[in-house]
A and B are shown apart, each in its own frame.
Chain A
Amino acid sequence: MAESRPRGEEEQLEDIEVGLLLEGVFRYYGADFRDYAPASLRRRIRESMQREGVETVSGLQAKLLHDPACLERFLHTLSINVTAMFRDPSFYLAFRTKVVPLLRTYPFVRVWHAGCSTGEEVYSMAILLQEEGLYPRCRIYATDMNPVVLRKAREGIFPLAAMQEYTGNYMKAGGRGFFSDYYTAQYEHVIFKPSLRENLVFSEHNLVTDGSFNEFHVILCRNVMIYFNKTLQRRVHNLIYDSLVMFGVFGVGNKESLRFTPREAHYDELDAENRLYRKVR
């Protein structure tokens, strides 16, 4: 068995190559992934290498810098995360019971869904707010850095095959009606009702480089910051804090928390289990 050597030369060389690739992509295209979490970034770089038919990270770098179409594919690989409607139903149930009563006290509610990907969770929130009678006075700003996923989100078309799972999630999330009332099925896809889209605003926003663009009563950023390293997470936590009204609500994924973040002391737990927090100072 090999003597314990912490990391081999090959891995160290690859570290250097990854650093150079990210630096190159940033300096040439302005797309900044330098503070992404290294492990999943490396997975996706390998995935891209395989797809592009190159043997080394440096080979991928050369292709990325000389072929904008290759960059497009790379950006897509980096931004696709697989989610579901009413992912973690108990989160939505907690939102209904603990957040909705707070929102009723506002004449107008602005929600920011940061990193909305293809929109499954945005439509989930629209349905919830509609059932609670709040949707007419809400506006949901759904943002992502990738225009391709935003286009999909805007269309609101999802595979029919997923609806069985989503229906189950919807019921566990405290749904009050029939899930199938919210969409129309055609062939292998469903399209969600236009009335759900009325108060949705989709736009490009990059958490790495862009700043605050409004003040919100609710900010959801679930399973987005897990792709960032701690430096970038700190930046985004500050950005979110600055974008939230006093007593505004902040929701993260169920394996994320505000522990060890710079703003931890500025929030109270609204629902610890479901990772809902309230800005209190």
Chain B
Amino acid sequence: MSGERVVVVGTSTGGLAAMQVLLPALAEDFPWPVVLLQHRSKEPGSELCKYLRRYCRRNVSEPEDKEPIMAGGVYLAPRDYHLLVERGHFALSTEAPVYFARPSIDVLFESAADAYGAGVVGVVLTGANGDGARGLARIKAAGGVAVVQDPSTARAPEMPRAAIEAANVDRVLPLPEIAPFLNGLGREAAR
């Protein structure tokens, strides 16, 4: 039932380095789509997507509006839009930034919880603000799984801390243990 699940990952300050640890450690046969949201400038010219591809065994792409969410896909939220998840595909929006962020982690996480309910795994990594906390709480309320990077191992601990405070999280893990944990969930489900 891999089509029923989705992993959403939110990060801000320090996120690039964190994703360099997380992405290569994801199993090659990881069964679910992974959606990455790194707070980013709205200015064009960033090669973030190309950069992340170097660390990931799968192709990383920025989804277009209504692009289908594929089981093997790794997706990066594009700049200057909110990225939302609907049942089976992505949707974009130019609604106002939420707490100065567009893309906003809360917007992504809340839409994922709406569309996939208990099928969502939400991950909050390093970051210097409170984005993602509300969204992670919504994921938990819908029966999903919440994972947060151990703040003491995060370059910027504010975002993980806010998430732990807001949501009844399932796991607080040092960064290197997050991908193995996700791999384990994937293997469990495949059985």
Neighbouring B residues of A257 by C-beta, 8 Å: 64
Q: Quick check: A8 and B142 within 8 Å, CB to CB?
A: yes
Neighbouring B residues of A27 by C-beta, 8 Å: none
Known contacts A37-B91, A40-B95: A11-B66 contact under CB 8 Å: no
Known contacts A255-B78, A256-B64: A5-B110 contact under CB 8 Å: no
Q: Quick check: A255 and B85 within 8 Å, CB to CB?
A: no
Docked Cα-Cα span, A40 to B81, in Å, equals 12
Total cross-chain contacts (CB, 8 A): 101
Interface residue ranges, A against B (CB under 8 Å): 1-8, 10-11, 37-40, 42-44, 80-83, 87-90, 223, 225-227, 230, 233, 253, 255-257, 259-260
Neighbouring B residues of A42 by C-beta, 8 Å: 111, 114
Docked Cα-Cα span, A5 to B120, in Å, equals 10
Closest B residue to A42 by beta carbon equals: B114
15 contacts between A and B (CB under 8 A): A2-B118, A4-B1, A5-B118, A8-B142, A11-B114, A39-B85, A39-B114, A40-B91, A40-B95, A43-B110, A82-B96, A90-B44, A227-B93, A256-B92, A257-B64
Q: Quick check: A4 and B5 within 8 Å, CB to CB?
A: yes
Docked Cα-Cα span, A90 to B42, in Å, equals 13
Q: Quick check: B81 and A255 within 8 Å, CB to CB?
A: yes
Docked Cα-Cα span, A257 to B62, in Å, equals 13
Interface residue ranges, B against A (CB under 8 Å): 1, 4-5, 44, 62-66, 78, 80-82, 84-86, 91-97, 107, 110-111, 114-119, 142-145, 170, 189
Q: Which of B81, B116, B145 is close to A6, meaning CB atoms less than 8 Å apart? A: B116
Known contacts A7-B116, A90-B44, A255-B62: A82-B4 contact under CB 8 Å: no
Known contacts A1-B170, A42-B114, A225-B65: A8-B91 contact under CB 8 Å: no
Docked Cα-Cα span, A226 to B97, in Å, equals 16
Closest B residue to A40 by beta carbon equals: B93
Q: Quick check: B86 and A7 within 8 Å, CB to CB?
A: no
Within the complex, the shortest CB–CB distance from A187 to chain B, in Å, comes to 23
Within the complex, the shortest CB–CB distance from B86 to chain A, in Å, comes to 5
Neighbouring A residues of B62 by C-beta, 8 Å: 255
Within the complex, the shortest CB–CB distance from B117 to chain A, in Å, comes to 3
Closest B residue to A77 by beta carbon equals: B95
Within the complex, the shortest CB–CB distance from A277 to chain B, in Å, comes to 14
- Besides A37-B91, A256-B65, 12 more A-B contacts (Cβ < 8 Å) are A1-B145, A5-B117, A6-B119, A11-B117, A11-B142, A39-B91, A42-B111, A42-B114, A43-B93, A82-B96, A226-B92, A256-B92
